[in-house]
Structure 1
Amino acid sequence: MSIDAVIFDIGNVLIEWQPETYYDRVVGAERRKAMFAAVDLHGMNDEVDRGGDFRQTIYDTAEKYPAFRDEIRMWHDNWLDLAQPRIEGSIALLRELRAAGVPVFALTNFGIGSFELARTRYEFLDEFDRRYISGHMGVIKPDAGIYAQVEADCGIAPERLLFTDDRIDNIRAAQARGWQTHLFDGVAGWHAALRAHGLPVSGG
């Protein structure tokens, strides 16, 4: 089956997203573990990704947990330090596909405000042919609705879409709709998957 568009997740595919790593460095592993045990920070981030106000959602959460107020606010105030580094090999593949004329889309759980902030550092976020940002769509992966919105907007048959994501639940949801998929576990595997689908990326 030929592929008419390649769809990239962003977090942990193009940009490393491991907030725990940031907090381990800044406040220490013990303090970080205590905070993540007490506060559903990833759930908080999901609310941002569904379209909640970037600053208010995080600051409101911080006020509910005064023992960790300053650290929780860092999720907003130091967000660019949480969302790094770039995954250069994946960025190179994105650009190689586009240079060869293959449509390349983004489908990502990302807040409205946090995505605009990310664009100030990561120029490749403006290089997609289409961007599907959950904050603007009002729904996050792996909800079937977000995949349906992509299909309706791009008009490409599901079986002609190739999607990579680092989360198995997101991959399974795409598979359930008939998409071709690759569970991202590193640049080498993604490169091999692209070649296996006959897409024009360099050898090696």
Structure 2
Amino acid sequence: MPVLAWSTIDTVLLDMDGTLLDLHFDNHFWLEQLPQRYAELHGISRAMAELELQPLFEQHAGSLNWYCLDFWSRELNFSVRELKLETAHLIALRPDADTFLQAIKQAGKRVILITNAHRDSLSLKLERVELAPYFERLISSHDYGYPKENPQFWSALEADIGFSPQRSLFIDDTLSILRSARDFGVAHLLAVRQPDSRKGPRDTEEFAAVEDYRALLEGL
């Protein structure tokens, strides 16, 4: 776990799914629940459903469509948001994420949520986990028309909120997004060691990783 130089950080940019929220809900939805519903609606086996969905997933991974519930509802011919409601009880905070949020807000840092989640998905989660009070802004990449993987997202964010990349901390569980932020000049970057509580720790490659949010508060 790194010791952060808090005196050099004014703005804290935080991802939502897998960073503040347990990724188990999303993994269960996309890997289990959605293929099962697709199989039922088309009268095919679960294995066949996965074979049909896989090329679609691969085609749109990392694009704004990948994160857009409207896109998937049109593509699959059923309401993806309504399907998500069926297992919304799985939406949960990662351990001590709220303690971390409260502490950095009280310390006077700008705290801004930046997520690729569609606004419908964001609102669904905010109905079940009280995150909004901790943040100055809740920004969906759909607001800008570019996912966080795209350099144009970061330009739009800078124009919108006026942050200094050199004096910002960004935490995200997706390595390609962290690399995009690094290329833009964000100075302090952290990955997440175990985004999904039901799966083991993972290799975060060149990035230091969050394992315990309380440990990040040292020196705040």
Farther off after superposition, 124-133 or 81-90 = 81-90
Alignment of 1:6-155 (within 5 A): 6-18=12-24, 19-22=26-29, 24=32, 27=36, 34-39=48-53, 40-41=56-57, 43=60, 46-47=64-65, 49=67, 54=69, 56-63=70-77, 73=78, 75-80=80-85, 81=87, 84-155=91-162
Q: CA deviation at 1:141?
A: 1.3
Do 2:100 and 2:217's aligned partners in 1 also have CA atoms closer than 8 Å? no
More helix by share: 1
Q: Which runs of 5+ in 2 are unaligned?
A: 40-44, 195-209
Q: CA deviation at 1:106?
A: 0.8
Do 2:103 and 2:217's aligned partners in 1 also have CA atoms closer than 8 Å? no
In structure 1, the residue matched to 2:190 is 182
Structure 2 CA distance, aligned partners of 1:131 and 1:122?
A: 14
Q: 1:80-99 deviations in whole A, cap 9, x for unaligned? A: 42662221322221121112
Do 1:24 and 1:32's aligned partners in 2 also have CA atoms closer than 8 Å? no
SS of the aligned residue for 1:15 comes to coil
Structure 2 CA distance, aligned partners of 1:33 and 1:74?
A: 22
Q: 1:130-149 deviations in whole A, cap 9, x for unaligned? A: 22211212111110111112
Q: Quick check: 1:160 aligned with 2:167?
A: yes
SS of the aligned residue for 2:9 comes to coil
Structure 2 CA distance, aligned partners of 1:144 and 1:90?
A: 27
Farther off after superposition, 176-185 or 111-120 = 111-120
Q: CA deviation at 1:164?
A: 0.5
Structure 2 CA distance, aligned partners of 1:34 and 1:194?
A: 48
TM-score (norm 2): 0.69
SS of the aligned residue for 2:92 comes to strand
**Identical amino acids, percent of aligned pairs:** 21
Do 1:9 and 1:108's aligned partners in 2 also have CA atoms closer than 8 Å? yes
**Do the aligned partners of residues 46 and 113 (structure 1) sit closer, same or farther apart at CA in structure 2, a change above 3 Å counting?**
same
TM-score (norm 1): 0.74
RMSD (CA atoms): 3.0
- Counterpart of 2:176 (choices 165, 169, 185) is 169
Aligned residue identity for 1:89: D
